[in-house]
Structure 1
Amino acid sequence: MLDAILGPSPAVAPALLAGAWKTGGEQVERVGPYVRRVVSRAVAADDDMVRTAVRYAHDGARQAMAATSPAARAEVLERAAAAANRHRDALARLIALELGKPLKDGGGEIDRVADTFAICAAEARRIGGDVLPVAGWARGVGNTALTYRAPAGVALAITPFNAPANLLAHKLGASFAAGNTTVVKAPPQAPAVSAAVVALLLEAGAPAEAVQLLHGGGAVGAALCAAPEVAVVSFTGSVETGAAVARAAGAKRLVLELGGNAATIVCADADVAQAAAVCARTGYTNSGQSCISVQRVYVHRSRFDEFAAAFGKEVAALKVGDPLDPATDVGSMVDEEAAARVAGWAAEAGAAGATIALGGTRDGATLAPTIVLDPPPGAAVVTREVFGALVAVLPFDDFDAVLAACNGSRYGLQAGLFTQDIGRIVAAWRELEVGGLIVNGSSNFRLDHVPFGGVKDSGFGRESPAHMIEDYTVVKTLLLRGLSIWGTRP
């Protein structure tokens, strides 16, 4: 099936249901935002497919997946990692067609898919348990207690459009490593990419019961969340949709990685040229459509003009255009509506007194990389999640005050800090209300084996394979009364 998915455009985006790929039924077309033609057709899920998926997943979780050894799961994941590397170019091309993401970014995403599957394989080999120190308390003397991490059962993975391959690899890879069955609800904007990642795992030897794939919108996601057969829901997306997921799921385990409004601070002692280059590169990757993309850059007033000039030069040098051109740095956004929204926010900031130093225009879904200098603190480009090819640059005078400004956001995912002052680094790590701080780098940096997640409206839980396996497993305790590995003498 992988060859069919990666074949001629329009790509086929089948559902995977009860161990079989399904290509018939109602079709939903995806129009590529840059090429402006149909690039894939997905099989739309209905109520019967949802019911079949959760029943089959529930049966398969116990009868097949939980019975597989961690070593067997690891070997499958390692083969899937190798397959991702083999199909790198075709997968990157499919991402470019469905989402307008440049080939260089899509290729980098597939590199991360391979890494993520390999990391999940390593974590599968480490799943174990504990011998508990029960004999340390008088009532525990003469007994032995052990634990191990058992599969949770059925995990639901609801993935976003902006990094559809790697974020699915995280959820699916960790769930498979834990020994679960996974039901995947793909993003409507990237159905074929999602199907291809699922196919990578199956063609690497995963059991048919390991994964199912459904396509559809919010109604399909809500029905899956509410299904009693589902034990864990892992969702990445907007705050508003995350709240709806939580309501629909009810009393289930939830891992929610939601929005961001990432800030990067450039102090007076920073290497301004380096900071400008890094912020330019990471502020417009994937047209800024990342929850940790550089959105707010706070620059010490003594270096503000210098930074603004260097940053403008770096951004102006980015090549904007065809995502299928290997030289392109910035392609299109996910659709015209998204591009129009960001352009509108830039115009609002300009009308309120900000300087639009670059960009602010669009061609369809392609937004020219936009720089907004010194917008008002209440402007949408400062307070809301832009999720687009726009960076706001603001001056600051006092370090404590800029930390407070960063914390004024409802979001708290990740931040960047450029400084050589260890005192500032420790203060920022302590005081910033974020899940991660990147020093001498922008907010937009992630290693797939390092804990990643936020606080406040940016969600809860951590998305690295080791931490995700904790969410996808349950601790089971064995207490042996009258049998002790410990000393029993009073």
Structure 2
Amino acid sequence: MLDTILKSADAPALLGGVWLVEGPTAERVGPYTRSVVSRARVAGEGDVHAAVRHAAAYAKQMARLAPATRASVLETASRLATEHRSEVARLIALELGKPVKDGLGEMDRVADTFAVCAAEARQIGGDNLPVAGWERGIGNTALTYRAPAGVALAITPFNAPANLLAHKLGASFAAGNTTIVKAPPQAPAVSAAIVALLLAAGAPVEAVQLLHGGGEVGAALCAAPEVAVVSFTGSAATGAAVARAAGAKRLVLELGGNAATIICEDADLAAAARMCARTGYTNSGQSCISVQRVYVHKSGFDGFVRQVTGEVAALKVGDPLDPSTDVGSMVDDQAAARVAAWAADAGEAGARITTGGTRDGATLKPTVVAGPPADAAVVTQEVFGALVAVLPYDDFDEVLRECNTSRFGLQAGIFTHDVRKIMTAWRELEVGGLIVNGTSNFRLDHVPFGGVKDSGFGRESPRFMVDDYTVVKTLILRGMSIWGEQ
């Protein structure tokens, strides 16, 4: 099925071990090609119930797979991700307008993610508890192990559809669960390809159910009592809806951001400008940690604006299938129009648009907005587009407070060699992660990743996700002790 999906770009559903093509379909029009690039078999009446029923029935079977068996499958999936990186990167470019070179990088990360999930599967174990350290525990033994949660629901976003699905599906499989995947409507074929890749690696068909559709499908799946844990990546508003629909379930929510990067007076402005230009427009800025707010010490503000404007203006915008393209299109025309409108609003409020600000359909020319007011949408909201706002600051403590005015708190960056400032920022910034001498837009897939405030809760890396996807089970042996009985 993997080869069929990669060649046809059709996105079947997977229910009860059967790939389903017949039924209602939805066409995905590529934001750059302006033509139909894939077709998804969307969930019909009864499909949600069927997916939940199958997943619940398969949970015990999946739990009996030894961790070594799970790890072996995931290691094979890692190799397959490398073998098929070009084909999947092409699908990503067609469905999302993401430059193919970025898609190739995403597939490299998929390979890494599956490999890390395999390593974590081999580490799943338990503890021998020190019960005899308390008087009532003398003469007894207590053991724990991490058992699969049962049925996991993975709701994935469009902006990194391959790697974020690999995180959720890979960690859930490593934990011994059966997983229901609700794919993003904007990337159905990419999602189906990653599911098919795991099955091609040797995962039992009972390991996963795959459904396509809109928010109503996700809401119905969240509400299903058979689902034990929900992992969602997306907007803060949708995350709140997921939490309401899920009720009393274990939740991992990785939501939005409007990430800040601070450039101190001792920073190398040229290097910082190059890095901001490179990481502020990757995937047209459609990343929750994309560079959005850049605070530059006033002594270097004008120079930084000139340098970053030059770097951004030099980015190649165009066909995402062209290996030399730096910036492709955004996910759709509406997204590009929104960001262009926000830039115009900032300009009317006194900011300078030093480059960009215009669009052609879903393709927004990379935009730099210098000196917007603090209450401008490009500062206070999640832009999630090809725009970076640059603001001056005078006092370090003041800029930390300014960064913290955001309702989001996912990740931040800081350019400085002052260890005191680094430690102060790490302590004071209300974010889940801080990148030193780099921008907010940097992630290692085996390192804890997640936010605070409206950016969600839980941490997305295989080690921490395996904890979320498992439950601790305790065994107490009364009258049997390895500790001694007096």
Q: How would you bin the TM-score normalised by the shorter chain?
A: over 0.9
Return the alpha-carbon distance in structure 1 between the equivalents of residues 432 and 453 of structure 2. Answer: 10
**C-alpha distance after superposition, 1:278-330 (max 9, x if no partner):** 11000000000000000000000001111111111111111000000000000
Matching residue of 2:101: 104
Amino acid at match of 2:19: W
Return the alpha-carbon distance in structure 2 between the equivalents of residues 65 and 418 of structure 1. Answer: 47
Return the alpha-carbon distance in structure 2 between the equivalents of residues 250 and 30 of structure 1. Answer: 32
**C-alpha distance after superposition, 1:345-403 (max 9, x if no partner):** 00000000000001000000000000000000000000000000000000000000000
Structural mapping, 1:137-152, within 5 Å: 137-152=134-149
Matching residue of 1:374: 371
CA apart distance, 1:404: 0.2
Matching residue of 1:45: 43
Amino acid at match of 1:3: D
Return the alpha-carbon distance in structure 1 between the equivalents of residues 110 and 31 of structure 2. Answer: 23
SS at match of 2:123: coil
Matching residue of 1:12: 10
Return the alpha-carbon distance in structure 1 between the equivalents of residues 482 and 314 of structure 2. Answer: 68
Matching residue of 1:272: 269
Contact 1:171 1:234 survives alignment (8 Å)? yes
Gaps of 5+ in 2: none
Contact 1:150 1:473 survives alignment (8 Å)? yes
Matching residue of 1:419: 416
Structural mapping, 1:291-330, within 5 Å: 291-330=288-327
Structural mapping, 1:246-395, within 5 Å: 246-395=243-392
Matching residue of 1:33: 31
Structural mapping, 1:80-91, within 5 Å: 80-91=77-88
2:192 to 182, 191, 195: 195
Contact 2:153 2:227 survives alignment (8 Å)? yes
Return the alpha-carbon distance in structure 1 between the equivalents of residues 189 and 59 of structure 2. Answer: 25
Contact 2:74 2:201 survives alignment (8 Å)? yes
Amino acid at match of 1:41: R
Contact 2:24 2:44 survives alignment (8 Å)? no
Return the alpha-carbon distance in structure 1 between the equivalents of residues 172 and 125 of structure 2. Answer: 15
Contact 1:383 1:409 survives alignment (8 Å)? yes
Amino acid at match of 1:306: G
The runs of 4+ residues in structure 1 deviating greater than 3 Å are none
CA apart distance, 1:261: 0.6
SS at match of 1:327: coil
Amino acid at match of 2:98: K
Matching residue of 2:233: 236
Gaps of 5+ in 1: none
Return the alpha-carbon distance in structure 2 between the equivalents of residues 436 and 46 of structure 1. Answer: 41
Return the alpha-carbon distance in structure 1 between the equivalents of residues 303 and 24 of structure 2. Answer: 56
Return the alpha-carbon distance in structure 1 between the equivalents of residues 106 and 410 of structure 2. Answer: 20
**C-alpha distance after superposition, 1:102-126 (max 9, x if no partner):** 0010000000000000000000000
Return the alpha-carbon distance in structure 2 between the equivalents of residues 47 and 240 of structure 1. Answer: 26
Return the alpha-carbon distance in structure 2 between the equivalents of residues 34 and 379 of structure 1. Answer: 29
Matching residue of 1:2: 2
**C-alpha distance after superposition, 1:239-282 (max 9, x if no partner):** 11001100100000000000001000000000111111111000
CA apart distance, 1:437: 0.1
2:155 to 152, 155, 158: 158
Amino acid at match of 2:24: E
SS at match of 2:86: helix
Return the alpha-carbon distance in structure 1 between the equivalents of residues 139 and 274 of structure 2. Answer: 64
Return the alpha-carbon distance in structure 1 between the equivalents of residues 217 and 85 of structure 2. Answer: 30
1:136 to 97, 121, 133: 133
Q: TM-score, normalised by structure 1?
A: 0.99
Q: TM-score, normalised by structure 2?
A: 1.00
2:62 to 62, 65, 74: 65
Amino acid at match of 2:165: L
Matching residue of 2:457: 460
CA apart distance, 1:487: 2.2
Return the alpha-carbon distance in structure 2 between the equivalents of residues 158 and 330 of structure 1. Answer: 26
Matching residue of 2:430: 433
Amino acid at match of 2:217: V
Return the alpha-carbon distance in structure 2 between the equivalents of residues 36 and 164 of structure 1. Answer: 20
Matching residue of 2:168: 171
Amino acid at match of 1:275: A
**C-alpha distance after superposition, 1:55-77 (max 9, x if no partner):** 10001011x20010000000000
Amino acid at match of 2:223: A
**C-alpha distance after superposition, 1:204-262 (max 9, x if no partner):** 11011100100000100000000011000000000110011001000000000000010
Contact 1:46 1:220 survives alignment (8 Å)? no
Return the alpha-carbon distance in structure 1 between the equivalents of residues 179 and 197 of structure 2. Answer: 14
- The sequence identity of aligned pairs, in percent, is 77
Return the alpha-carbon distance in structure 2 between the equivalents of residues 195 and 89 of structure 1. Answer: 16
Amino acid at match of 2:474: T
Greater mean deviation of Cα atoms: 303-312 or 320-329: 303-312
**C-alpha distance after superposition, 1:392-433 (max 9, x if no partner):** 000000000000000000000000000000000000000000
Matching residue of 2:124: 127
Q: Number of paired residues?
A: 486
Return the alpha-carbon distance in structure 2 between the equivalents of residues 47 and 218 of structure 1. Answer: 15
Amino acid at match of 1:448: D
